[in-house]
C-alpha cells in the first residue's frame, strides 16, 4: 500500500496545523491509539519549530507548529501506534519561508 509523501511551506510568524490521513494504511479494522511528532532540522543549532499542540482520532493526526528559521527545511515525522500494536512513521518536509 502506498502513502503520499508531502512537502509544505510555513511562514516563520505563523501558527498553523499540519496533519496526516492514515485511513488507507490502517485498513478497515485498525485505528490509531497514539500519535507523536518528531521535528528535526538539518543542523541542531538552528532555531527549532515549536510544537504547540497535537491531536488524533481513529484515522487522522494533527500538529500545531510555530516558529522555525527562515530558509530551513525541517523533517516532520508522525509516528503512530495502533490498536493492532503496529507502529509506523511517515516523514514529510516543511520549509520555513516568508509568504
Residue 25, in any domain of the structure:
yes
| Residue 50 structural domain | 17-96
How far is residue 62 CA from its own chain's centroid? 7
Residue 1, in any domain of the structure:
no
**How many whole angstroms separate alpha carbon 72 and alpha carbon 42?**
8
Confidence bin at 23 (pLDDT 50/70/90): very high
Residue 4, in any domain of the structure:
no
Matching residue, cell 515525522:
77
Residue 11, in any domain of the structure:
no
Residue 87, in any domain of the structure:
yes
Number of domains, the chain? 1
In this prediction the pTM is 0.86
2 or 98: whose pLDDT is higher?
98
Nearest one of 73, 84, 93, 98 to 26, comparing CA atoms: 84
Work out whether the CA dihedral 36, 40, 46, 49 comes out positive or negative: negative
The string of DSSP letters for 41-64 reads ESSTTSPPEEEEEEEE-SSEEEEE
pLDDT (tens digit, 9 = 90+) per residue, 43-95?
Answer: 777 778 899 999 999 999 999 999 999 999 899 999 999 999 999 999 999 99
Amino acid at each position: 500500500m502506498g502513502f503520499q509523501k508531502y512537502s509544505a511551506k510555513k511562514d516563520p510568524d505563523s501558527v498553523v496545523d499540519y496533519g496526516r490521513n492514515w485511513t488507507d494504511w490502517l485498513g478497515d479494522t485498525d485505528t490509531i491509539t497514539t500519535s507523536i511528532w518528531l521535528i528535526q532540522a538539518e543542523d541542531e543549532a538552528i532555531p527549532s519549530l515549536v510544537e504547540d499542540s497535537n491531536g488524533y482520532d481513529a484515522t487522522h493526526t494533527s500538529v500545531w507548529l510555530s516558529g522555525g528559521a527562515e530558509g530551513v527545511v525541517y523533517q516532520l515525522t508522525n509516528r503512530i501506534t495502533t490498536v493492532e500494536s503496529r507502529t509506523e512513521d511517515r516523514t514529510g518536509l516543511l520549509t520555513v519561508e516568508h509568504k
